[in-house]
Amino acid sequence: MLILLIPLMALAINTKKKEDLTSIWKLLFETDKYSYNPINKPDPFRPFIYEGKENEKSKKIRSPLEQIDISEIKLVGIIKTKDQKIAILEDDTGKGYFVKVGTPIGLHNGIIKAITNDRIIIEEKAMDFTGRITKRKIILKLRPAEEENE
């Protein structure tokens, strides 16, 4: 803008006409300002994976496991009983949790769907930007691949 300003100011000084100075001032500083009209446009700040509005379920008191992201949890053991399998989970701080099939887990309304001999399967449901509910499977293994090679 400074490059344009210098020749125009030199022109105005040479002509010494008040009308020229006024027109140059309007040209440089009194232009129409852009105004964003959001009608029929998507919200640019809305995330692609949309969890929806808060409802009755989201207002309930959440367990400690529901306040931790699944990426911060690791599977450290599985207990087999006559009737069921119980998984032992540990968070980043070293705190342990005993869980079974159907236990809610994670920040995104996950539920433990299955416990096998060496892993647990967690299913999370989330609403994407189009409004469809998508399911995501997460598998936590008892011994991750890095530890198996050692």
Full-prediction pTM beyond 0.75?
no
**What one-character DSSP code corresponds to residue 128?**
E
User: pLDDT tens for residues 62-102?
Assistant: 888 999 999 899 999 999 999 999 999 999 999 999 999 99
User: pLDDT tens for residues 25-45?
Assistant: 676 666 666 777 888 887 778
| Cβ burial 41-55 (10 Å sphere, 16+ → b, else e) | eeeeeeeeeeeeeee
Q: Strand, coil or helix: what is 66? A: helix
Residue 25 host element (H or E): helix 18-29
Letter for the amino acid at 95? K
Both tokens of 74, joined, read: 């690791």
- Contact in structure between 136 and 126 (CB atoms under 8 Å): yes
